[in-house]
Amino acid sequence: MILPGYEDAVAEDLRLINQGLADRSGNHYFVNGRTYQEHGGTGGAYPVRGEGFVAVDRGTHASLATFARYNGPTDAALREIGFNPSISDEQLAQALWLWSLRTK
């Protein structure tokens, strides 16, 4: 996931990738200390690691998707997440932290 404040840096990285100016190994691109992976078949790339990126696992992603459906971590969203046994307290905490960043 791309953290707020890194949008311009990522846009520049993608510009360099599209111009063929990034280092490449297989389906990975390396540019400005960040790693991107080519999204199979679409020609797009998604962030893997580096400054401004946070790794998001399935449980955290599911929590964020639930927040998006409910327009935030509302009581209803948290109740729905609570019924999902595959989402741990740690994953929920990371999702809450990430969600808070988007509203600052």
> Per residue of the chain (104 residues), what is the pLDDT tens digit?
999 999 999 999 999 999 999 999 999 999 999 999 998 878 788 899 999 999 999 999 999 999 999 999 999 999 999 999 999 999 999 999 999 998 65
Q: Which helix (H) or strand (E) holds 17?
A: helix 7-18
Three-state secondary structure of 42-67: CCCEEEEECCCECCCCHHHHHHHHHH
Residues contacting residue 46 through CB under 8 Å, at least 6 positions apart = 36, 37, 39
pLDDT for residue 75: 98
> What pLDDT, on a 0 to 100 scale, did the predictor assign at position 97?
96
